[in-house]
Amino acid sequence: MVEVFRHDVIIVGGGAAGLRAAIAVAEADPSLSCAVVSKVYPMRSHTVSAEGGAAAVARDDDSLEMHGYDTVKGSDFLGDQDVIQYFVEQAPRELSQLERWGCPFSRNEDGTVATRAFGGMTTKRTWYATDKIGFHMLHALFQTSMKFDSIVRYDEHFVSKLVLDGGQVRGVAALDIRTGDVKLILARAVIVTTGGGGKIFPFTTNGMIKTGDGMALAYRSGVALKDMEFVQYHPTGLPGTGILITEATRGEGGHLKNSEDERFLVEYDYGVGAKAELGPRDMISRAIVQEVRAGRGIAGPYGEFVHLDLTHLGKEVIESRLPFVVELSRIYIGVDPVTERIPVRPVVHYMMGGIDTDITAATDLPGLYAAGEVACVSLNGANRLGSNSLTECLVFGARAGEEAAQFVQGTDDGNASATQTQGEEEAARLDALRGRKQGGEKLSQIRRELNKSMEEGCGVYREQASMAATVREVANLRGRVSDLRLEDESRVFNTELIAALELANMVDVAEAVANSALQRKESRGAHTCEDHPTRDDQNYLYHTLCYFDPAGPRIEKKDVTLGIWEPEERKY
Amino acid sequence: MPARKASHPQAMAPSAPGRTRTAPPVQPGSWQTSRRMKQYSRFGMTGWVYLLASISAIEMVYALGSGPEAYERMQGVFGHPLMVLFHAISLFSVGYVVVRFFGLFPKAQPARIGPLKPPPGPVIAATLYGAWIGITLVLSAILAGGIF
Amino acid sequence: MSAKKTFVITRFDPDKDEVPKTQSYEIECQDDWKVLDAINFIKDELDASLSYRWSCRMAVCGSCGMMVDGEPKLTCKTALSDYGDTLEIEPLANFPIVRDLVVELEGFMDKVKRVKPWIVSAKEEAAHRAAATMKEGTYRQSTEELMAFKQFSMCINCLLCYSACPVVANEPDFLGPAAIALGHRYNMDSRDDGQAERNEIFRGEGTVFSCSYANECSEVCPKGVDPAAAVNQAKLNTVIDWAAGFVVSRGGDE
């Protein structure tokens, strides 16, 4: 018998968006019981690794209109403009709230929060905490959330299924990683805040846990994944490990140089104009790939790279504003940024695409909300500007929490035996999967093949032929992943079982990415198709919707909300 | 693997019992051989010295209150070579603890109290050692009958 | 470049094993691997049943703490080249063991919640809440005020300090280095008003005064938080606070 737990709102995922949503629910109505269900303890969420800063209008030389324009232009005009307007309005309020909750922002002389320059932003609006904003934001939110008795946590519980009844979400089935038992956690609203799925690629800034679980949950329940083809390659990751070297290094004045010691972004025309190293991420990643193709990359044991030169900034600036970068460079690549150049190359970092939501963070499945990287509102369109996503987690995490708190007042619990049956079936499915010795496929092997296929088909530069090959390979892997051979039969803390569930989720996400990429026959933002190198607003100014179908994913189109800024050529 | 020494059976135990059976907590394997932990053990062992010193101080006070013969006998006991050795050990142990404590003292200073900041390390060290040695000299003079 | 190394790893399945045992794995290791890379290789290729926690692999999430040759280490940050041909990998000391290299963290979560690790503030909250801009909605804080607590806010909750602390090993009630450092971080934050409440907790059950100056916590901290400084500063602060309580009324006095 599967044990049943009842709450009013469930939040899946305990990172910045999830914790902000939980606090929003608790503040909106302290009588609502809010469950935060996360497969890791919240302080391990991948928010923790974000480095550069979070954007919001702060200075007198800035305006909401400017922040909005930078964002819509950065998105290559695929961002929904009503969403962008709402976002820039809420951003200063949310970051100010975060400051009052204790986030230790770096300060100006007058005691106000300090801001730095960032890619694609016309002025300094990135609030920063040396270079560990994600860490400080996550801990401030997590510690603040402990204040509220109405927030109940299910730590190390893996949500493997959304429970539906009567066309509405009624809760989740979650595996208690500690005991191996499945719990049926019921609520009238579920907010998914599980982050992105960078681990479908072999080379990523993302941690082990970024396997797209929430995206897969929604996908398999009939909700569309939107704009999945847009995968952001961060220009400066360490070769080998893929560890993130923040854009703030360029915000503080760092230069990118090729093997001939040229600042290639200045020397050649890569579309970034005078912004040079502070251009948008998609353009800079393409520039680095072009430099390597032109033979001006530097060879190393983990492939070719370019140099990030901070040496001219001076020891004081580097050690006071970029101390984490110093630590990472020394430990993981053996380089001291004060005196040497850091080897860097583009690395998968963020997914602009995700669960299709509207401006209220609601999906078209009643009771289901999504916020943060897992969602596609769409704020970021075809390319995200750095430092917008942490603010996005706060703005839409809060919105999702407020909306869910209201939604649960006006709805009911659904049919108890229908939900119970789903819980029992899920428990049986997982029991059968655990330690499944009759399979023929090895988990790490499938993961490697998936990674390889995604890198080949969905890299910085894409071709129709290789995208099509990836679509076929992923479809093939979908069949193979259902025949895994698993060794670990234990019930207690079985991480192999979790890895198997994550791998299935990764295949779902990869399918959506590859199929969405194949049908977009233009180049826009982070999606660069060599067969169609220009942007085509005539035919492709729409959001891609990818729906799950056993016969193969179904693609539909959704209009982009325009009205404030006219789409124009994206030149910097 | 050599069996690790057990920690307290309730070390880091949760307030509600864990949902599955756990193996009891053990101490780090390096504690037996680590130089720092040996120093820490010696530091802790000085507690025995204080215990014995306290007992002999109490004995002496009792003897003081029991008349001049008892007091003379007590002085004789203190003159015994073993007692002199104990006093030497006590002196060493007090010195060891004080030096260690003085070494950790700067770290225990708050960054600021209102507008005041702690003085630099050498100043703190000089003040502490100065006060310690000064008070020791004054007390020794008193006990030796030099003053009062 | 690579070399063969042997890993002797603690295994424990509460459903099968009475007590923890060890298992040895010999693998070819790349020279630039961290300890975690080797453990991941063992799990991926040799023994999928080996259970442990990890995530970011860049020393910021705090998941991958383990004992390596008897000392608590963050395995994603610890170079294999610092060790010889054989390494002993055990779960973090002083914690109950759940499975293999996974330890019970609920004890720590209980302790950390007790120190009220959030901004307690009576200052102008209503006016701040209504504000929509940075100038109106944030506290002013000088860099100097920030530096008073910044170091103690760097804790990633990796819990190596709990494994290193002899008081944690022997006194179950002791709040412990990370929890005290976190409480102290809030006490020292100029935006916070909760010193009185926290100092009372620091004097109560699990008191900061249990700390006996081993300084091991600071020796093993991978983030330079120096929890020993926090605990010992907290001792001084709680005494001053206690004494001041007789002289002035609480609140609004600095």
Length of chain C: 254
Question: Contact A102/C98, CB-based, under 8 Å?
Answer: no
Best interface-test mutation with B: which of A41, A492, A493 has the largest number of B CBs within 10 A?
Answer: A492
Q: Is A157 a catalytic residue?
A: no
Residue C127 scores a pLDDT above 80 = no
Q: Which two tokens stand for residue C91?
A: 């779960």
If phi over 0 gives left and psi between -120 and 50 gives alpha, with beta otherwise, what is residue B114? left
Can you spell out the DSSP letters for A157-186?
A: EEEEEEEEETTEEEEEEEEETTT--EEEEE
Which residues 376-435 in chain A show a CB within 8 A of chain C?
A: none
Strand (E) or helix (H) holding C5 = strand C2-11
Check residue B148 and give its pLDDT: 67
Contacts of A41 in chain B (CB under 8 A): none
Q: CB of A321 within 8 Å of any CB in chain C? A: no
A46, A67, A250, A436: the active-site residue = A250
Residues 89-128 of A with CB under 8 A from C: 89, 92-93, 95-97, 99-102, 104, 106-107, 110-113, 127
* Nearest chain C residue (CA) to B15: C107
What integer pLDDT is reported at residue C253 of this predicted model?
44
For residue B114, give how far its alpha carbon lies from the nearest alpha carbon of chain C (Å): 6
Record: contact A104-C51, CB cut-off 8 A: no
Asked if A49 lies within 8 A of C61 by C-beta distance, the reply is: yes
Residues in chain B: 148
Provide, as residue numbers in chain C, all residues whose Cβ is less than 8 Å from the Cβ of B98: none
Mean pLDDT of B58-82: 86
Task: Find the chain B residues whose C-beta atoms sit closer than 8 A to any C-beta of A.
Answer: 18-20
The DSSP call for residue A10 is E
pLDDT in tens, C76-125: 999 999 999 999 999 999 999 999 999 999 999 999 999 999 999 866 67
Per-chain mean pLDDT for chain B: 88
C229 vs B contacts (CB less than 8 Å) = 107-108
Rounded (10°) CA dihedral C16, C20, C21, C27: 100
Beta strand pairing call for A528-529 and A375-376:
unpaired
Select from C168, C166, C54 the least CA-distant residue to C108: C168
The whole-angstrom separation of Cα A459 and Cα C56 is 22
Is residue A212 within 8 Å of residue A33, measured between CB atoms? no
CB pairs under 8 A between A and B: 7
Average pLDDT over residues C225-232: 95
What is the value of pTM for the model shown?
A: 0.95
Flag if C128 and A102 touch (Cβ within 8 Å).
Answer: no
- CA pair distance C180, C188, nearest whole angstrom: 12
Question: A403-407 long-range contacts, Cβ below 8 Å, gap at least 24?
Answer: A403/A360, A403/A361, A403/A362, A403/A369, A404/A9, A404/A21, A404/A25, A404/A189, A404/A191, A404/A369, A405/A8, A405/A9, A405/A24, A405/A25, A405/A28, A405/A29, A405/A32, A406/A28, A407/A188, A407/A189, A407/A366, A407/A367
H-helix segments, A75-178? 81-100, 133-145
Using CB atoms, pick whichever of B15, B20, B36 lies closest to residue C98.
B20
Structure tokens that stand for A199 in this block = 């681990």
* Minimum-distance CB partner of C138 among A100, A492, A494: A100
Q: Which of A287, A286, A275 is nearest to A70 (CA)?
A: A275
Helix axes of A495-519 and A213-220: crossing angle, nearest 10 degrees: 70
Q: Does A179 touch chain B (CB under 8 A)?
A: yes
Give C168-197 as a DSSP string. HHH-TT---HHHHHHHHHHHT-TT---HHH
Subunit contact B20:A176, Cβ cutoff 8 A: no
What is the helix (H) or strand (E) element at residue A354, kind and residue range? Answer: strand A354-356
Alpha-carbon gap: B28 to the closest alpha carbon of chain A (Å)? 23
pLDDT in tens, A451-491: 999 999 999 999 999 999 999 999 999 999 999 999 999 99
Spatial CB neighbours of A566, under 8 Å, sequence gap ≥ 6 = none
The phi and psi torsions of A515 (rounded to 5 degrees) equal -70, -40
Taking the C-alpha atoms of C35, C38, C42 and C44 in order, what is their torsion angle to the nearest 10 degrees?
Answer: 110
Q: Residue written as tokens 């975690």? A: C36
Contact residues, chain A, for B20 at CB < 8 Å: 178-179, 492
For residue B26, the SS3 value is strand
| Mean of per-residue pLDDT scores for chain A | 97
- Residue C254 pLDDT greater than 90, yes or no: no
pLDDT one-digit tens code per residue, A269-321: 999 999 999 999 999 999 999 999 999 999 999 999 999 999 999 999 999 99
- Check C93 against B28: CB less than 8 A apart: yes
The three-class DSSP label of residue B66 is coil
Mean pLDDT on C37-47: 97
A207 to C192: CB separation less than 8 angstroms, yes or no? no
Tell if the CB–CB gap between A492 and B18 is shorter than 8 Å: no
Chain C residues in contact with B4 by the CB 8 A cut-off are 90, 93
Distance CA A554, CA A365 (A): 18
Catalytic site residue from A20, A234, A462, A535: A234
Taking the C-alpha atoms of A310, A312, A316 and A319 in order, what is their torsion angle to the nearest 10 degrees? 10
Closest CA to C102 of C6, C8, C33, C13: C13
With beta carbons less than 8 A apart as the criterion, state whether A372 and A17 touch: yes
pLDDT of residue B114: 64
Cβ contact C98–B18 (<8 Å): yes
Contact B12 C107 (CB under 8 A): yes
Output the tens digit of pLDDT for each of chain A's 572 residues: 899 999 999 999 999 999 999 999 999 999 999 999 999 999 999 999 999 999 999 999 999 999 999 999 999 999 999 999 999 999 999 999 999 999 999 999 999 999 999 999 999 999 999 999 999 999 999 999 999 999 999 999 999 999 999 999 999 999 999 999 999 999 999 999 999 999 999 999 999 999 999 999 999 999 999 999 999 999 999 999 999 999 999 999 999 999 999 999 999 999 999 999 999 999 999 999 999 999 999 999 999 999 999 999 999 999 999 999 999 999 999 999 999 999 999 999 999 999 999 999 999 999 999 999 999 999 999 999 999 999 999 999 999 999 999 999 999 888 999 999 999 999 999 999 999 999 899 999 999 999 999 999 999 999 999 999 999 999 999 999 999 999 999 999 999 999 999 999 999 999 999 999 999 999 999 999 999 999 999 999 999 999 999 999 999 999 999 999 999 999 99
Q: How many whole angstroms separate alpha carbon A261 and alpha carbon A72?
A: 34
Name residue C227's amino acid.
P
Q: How many CA atoms lie within 13 A of C122 on its CB side?
A: 6
- The Cα of C29 is separated from the nearest Cα of chain B by a number of Å equal to 22
Q: How far apart are CA A478 and CA C21, in angstroms?
A: 38
Tally C-beta pairs within 8 A across B and C. 139
- Rounded to a whole number of angstroms, the distance from the CA of A125 to the nearest CA of chain C is 11
SS3 A3: strand
> Is the previous residue joined to A75 through a cis bond, with omega within 30 degrees of 0?
no
Show residues of chain A in contact with C134, CB under 8 Å.
56-58, 92, 95-96, 112-113, 127
pLDDT band at C246 (very low <50, low <70, confident <90, very high): confident
pLDDT (0 to 100) of residue A53: 97
The rounded distance, in Å, linking the Cα atoms of A543 and A520 is 10
For B20, the closest chain A residue by CA position comes to A179
Structure tokens at C101: 């290299």
Is A188 a catalytic site residue?
no
Residues of chain B with C-beta less than 8 angstroms from the C-beta of C188: 110-111
CB C225 within 8 A of CB C173: no
First to last CA, chain A: 61
The answer to whether residue B39 neighbours chain C at the CB level (below 8 Å) is no
Task: List C-alpha distances in Å: A510 to A224, A230, A243, A474.
Answer: 14, 12, 22, 7
* Chain C hits for B111, Cβ within 8 Å: 147-149, 188
Closest partner residue to A107 (CB to CB) among C55, C143, C156 is C143
Structure-token match 């193969």, residue found: A552
Element (H, E) at A324: helix A323-333
- Cα A239 from Cα A249, distance rounded (Å): 17
Q: Which residue is closest to C186 within chain A, CA to CA?
A: A102
| pLDDT for res C249 | 59
Q: Which helix (H) or strand (E) holds C97?
A: strand C97-99
User: A359 vs B42, which has greater pLDDT?
Assistant: A359
Instruction: Look up the ipTM and state it.
Output: 0.96
Judging contacts by C-beta atoms under 8 Å, the chain C residues touching residue B43 are: 213
CA dist B75 and A280 (Å) reads 87
| pLDDT band, residue C156 (cuts 50/70/90) | very high
A333 touches chain C (CB under 8 A): no
Q: What is the 3-state secondary structure (H, E, C) of A433-487?
A: HCCCCCCCECHHHHHHHHHHHHHHHCCCEECHHHHHHHHHHHHHHHHHHCCECCC
